[in-house]
Chain A
Amino acid sequence: MRNLIVGLTLTAIFVLAALVSFLWTPYDVTVLEIANKLKPPTFSHWFGTDHFGRDIFSMIMVGARTSIAVAVVAVGIGMGLGVPLGLAAAARKGSFLDEVIMRGNDLIFAFPSLLIAILITAIFGPSAVNAIIAIGIFNIPVFARLTRGAAMSLWTHDYILAARVAGKGATRISVEHILPNVANLLIVQGTIQFSLGILAEAALSYVGLGAQPPTPSWGRMLADAQTLIALAPHVALFPGFAILFTVLGLNLAGDGIRDLLDPKLRVQR
């Protein structure tokens, strides 16, 4: 319960920061004030300023938009494709379809999301959209496997046989009986993939494969800070803490939701 409260509070803070940033930020992040550069934290600039004199607090607020948007869409892609594939594979266990889906999953699993991103950027060039696609593709087998595993154990339950005796087909049973009973698991795994998505987005933009300037992003703020770390450590500290606390918040929320719904749920990390 404590996990859930702390986790949801942290998550809410960052989601709120992202939403508020559309309307208002303490300073305009597109205005460069070189004279004001690398100021340590003060009352006027809570988190200090960067090498262009931009307010780091404002940049973190705007950066939250990118992180959250990338992670949400990537989880959406993963769930949207992975869950139906997993349900279909479980409904036709051992069939050719199942085999194809599972082999396909193994194949994607052999490409860590970063490699997918490298391939995509090598072809289409770096952008936030490509980062989303890379992380999203990586999420598909995670959800497909999880759904298939959970669905397969449900298919052996007598109530599924009862539904078949009522003349219901595989699709209808999957939607009516299987999906509601794997929903808890998907919600918990979803929060974990969400947090992994934020970490992956930060890593991709750190190496320049994610969101491109001028879109602010936490990963690139850290990349910019790297050469300045001896001079102005605060430039590197605050975006890192932003990532740390968002991810921590989501993980705690995920654990909390799991404890609340069903402590025996098995999720994949």
Chain B
Amino acid sequence: MISLIVASLVIFACIEVIPGDPASFMLGINAQPDTVAALREELGLNASLSVRYLSWVTGMLSGDFGTSYTYRTPVAEIIAERLWLSLPLALIALGLTVFIAFPIGILAATKRGSWTDMSVMGATQLGIAVPNFWFAMLMVLLFAINLRWFSAGGFPGWDNPFAALKALTLPSIALALPQASILARVMRSALLDTLSEDYIRTCRAKGLTRRQALWRHALRNAMIPVLTIIGLQFSFLLAGAIIIENVFYLPGLGRLVFQAISQRDLIMVESVVFLLVFAVIIVNFAVDLAYAWVDPRLRARV
């Protein structure tokens, strides 16, 4: 909560205070003084800073993000429309990340030092090093241009859920691959760490096999570092989505924010950035709740 307030202050300060006069900044150097004055009036810039901040925040709380200067429509509407693409994209990518990383990480940890472990871990080294937008371009080249299994870009809308999901397939794979490589490595090393704990030896002395000790005891304890990383990765996925949308010409928040920057639509930039920060903070809170679910020692604190 406190971090949200501070974050909103930081964003507000960056956008509305640092550039000097936002109205003349938004209109560019060649603007007529009376147009600038009119825009100042329209943006409510004649009020004091604190009043403007409060009205921005209370507006956001009631779902009113202000009116976009370029589009002349409420920012909230445009963002909501675009969010319907970016959020599913990030969530699908997160799901894929977990879905790929967990089996690989567990496999590598169980077969530690084996040929499987080495080759899987080698592959994740590559996965971490690949820039995701370049990987996306290569997938477009292979699957869209050469094999023609997918379209190279664009989004048909959610009216046809199957087509929509198909359009999000390549982008989410591109997003998920590097993060899945990181998570698989974290999973493996977290498991190996817990497997060397004293209580695993206790379990083995009870008569559990190596495999039983891993599944029943090590896995849940290894989830603590893994959850931390998943929380961090969501913010990378959101940010990464902004870039990947560019590769696939997807009309999401990313495209919106770059257009807004080039059109100097500060209200739009401010709102999108705040929304993304808000999402990151919410996810961190969810991770804290998940910690408590995994680890009884932390339950008292939440």
Q: Which residues of A contact B (CB under 8 A)?
A: 103, 106-107, 109-115, 118-119, 121-123, 195, 199, 202-203, 206-208, 219, 222, 225-226, 229-230, 233, 236, 239-240, 243-245, 247-248, 251-252, 269
Contacts and interface: CB of A to CB of B under 8 A. Distances in A.
A115 B243 CA distance: 11
Nearest to A240: B134
A88 to B, nearest CB: 20
Contact of B261 (A122, A203, A225, A243): A122
Interface range, B side: 35 or more
Nearest to B193: A266
Contacts of B6: 103, 107
Contacts of A233: 141
Contacts of B261: 118, 121-122
A115 B239 contact: yes
B126 A244 contact: yes
Interface in B135-177: 137-138, 140-141, 145
The main secondary structure of chain B at its interface with chain A is helix
A107 B145 contact: no
11 contacts: A109-B232, A114-B239, A114-B242, A115-B239, A123-B18, A206-B243, A236-B137, A239-B134, A243-B129, A243-B131, A247-B129
B129 A195 contact: yes
Nearest to A7: B125
Contacts of B14: 119, 122-123
Interface in B86-145: 125-126, 128-134, 137-138, 140-141, 145
B188 interface: no
Interface in B168-221: 182, 185-186
B85 interface: no
Interface stretch (B50-58, B73-81, B277-285): B277-285
Contacts of A251: 125, 128-129
Contacts of B254: 207
B129 A110 contact: no
